[in-house]
Amino acid sequence: MWQKDCDGFTEINLCFTNVKLLPDQKQSDLLFIILARTCGSNLRGPSGIITSPNYPVQYEDNAHCVWVITTTDPEKVLIIYVSANDFAIYPTYRLTGSSVPDLIVSMSNQMWLHLQSDDSIGSPGFKAVYQEIEKGGCGDPGIPSYGKRTGSSFLHGDTLTFECQAAFELVGERTITCQQNNQWSGNKPISCFFNFTTPSGIILSPNYPEEYGNNMNCVWLIISEPGSRIHLIFNDFDVEPQFDYLTVKDDGISDLPPLGTFSGNEVPSQLASSGHIVRLEFQSDHSTTGRGFNITYTSKKLCFYFMASLKMKLSFFIIMKNRTCFYL
């Protein structure tokens, strides 16, 4: 195989040998030429950020990108945090889809990252943060929002235990152990979430109105009486554009798209759910933070009445003013 750079593309020639030729074929008939968009670079520690081409805009078709990261200290290894789509970390990991993997720690002082795309559906790609750490460990998995951790060492054989503040529930493994392959024995806890069950209330981002922290993954559930709807009013909103975001979903209704995904500092408009449960998911990355958000919610019971006259409608409206009613 040989290759030649051509204005941002690479011409890759593949020559196959030990192939039986037909009588009217020549060896040159087995030469294939492929054009691929190339990118990537050689990087050195102690830390840095890698993004796919055009991130967070869709990467190009037929992309072939390779990044090689080498530590500045040969006695250290690399830890990488990545949100991924169609992404591979050699020699042992292949990441695809939109899920965010746990920490990945190299076994040596060098790591290869390879992005390969085809000519069909694209996506925003990935953002990866890398950092040098000492050998013989699995890296700091962090502490869940509204949670706490017992244990502060991340070397082989060390165990960490997680729990949440009162009234919150843990999402993820309660206990994880650092293994000899530099990976934790289970998925790190991603968040402590809280269920709001009162008819109205206020949801605040962690530490509001001060800046929230990095690497946040928070979940709030608003659960109202069956047959009701939930209304959200955004009083304040300020998160890092593009990289930190809040998603609002109709929980329990899987075939519906999210009510909205919000980023930046523009205050969103009011939202109303289709059902009686709303799920809010907030995620921040490893860099810039913001003030966060302040959201007021109220729940209103749906009701249906058959009315004989306008006078009856008005009287029932006064009685049922805290409900969203439909008159037939």
- Which two tokens mark 326? 């439909």
> Is-above-0.75 flag for pTM?
no
Can you name the CATH fold of 147-190? Complement Module; domain 1 (2.10.70)
Domain edges within the chain:
40-134, 147-190, 197-299
Q: How many other C-beta atoms can be found within 10 angstroms of the C-beta atom of residue 40?
A: 17
- Which two tokens mark 270? 């009011």
Residue type, 137: G
Q: How many other C-beta atoms can be found within 10 angstroms of the C-beta atom of residue 118?
A: 10
Judge: domain 197-299, CATH 2.60.120.290: yes
- Name the DSSP class of 308: S
Q: Name every residue whose Cβ is closer than 8 Å to that of residue 90 and which is 6 or more positions away in sequence.
A: 111, 112, 113, 114
Strand partners, 328: none
- Name the DSSP class of 105: E
Yes or no: say if 204 and 294 are a contact pair by the CB < 8 Å rule.
Answer: yes
- Selection from 142, 261, 152, 145 nearest residue 205 by Cα: 145
Three-class SS state of 65:
strand
- Would strands 323-327 and 292-305 be described as parallel, antiparallel, or unpaired? parallel
Can you name the CATH fold of 40-134? Jelly Rolls (2.60.120)
Per-residue pLDDT of the chain (328 residues; tens, 9 = 90+): 344 443 443 333 333 334 444 555 554 444 433 344 567 788 988 888 888 887 777 777 777 888 899 999 988 988 887 765 445 554 455 555 555 556 788 888 998 888 777 776 666 777 888 889 888 998 888 887 677 899 999 999 999 999 877 656 677 788 999 999 888 888 777 666 677 888 999 998 888 888 988 777 788 889 998 889 999 999 999 999 988 999 999 876 656 788 999 999 999 999 999 889 999 988 888 788 899 999 999 998 765 544 444 445 444 444 444 454 544 4
Domains 40-134 and 147-190 share a fold: no
Instruction: For 317, list phi and psi in degrees, rounded to 5.
Output: -65, -40
Buried b (16+ CB within 10 A) or exposed e, 155-187: eeeeebebebeeebebbbbeebebeeebbbeee
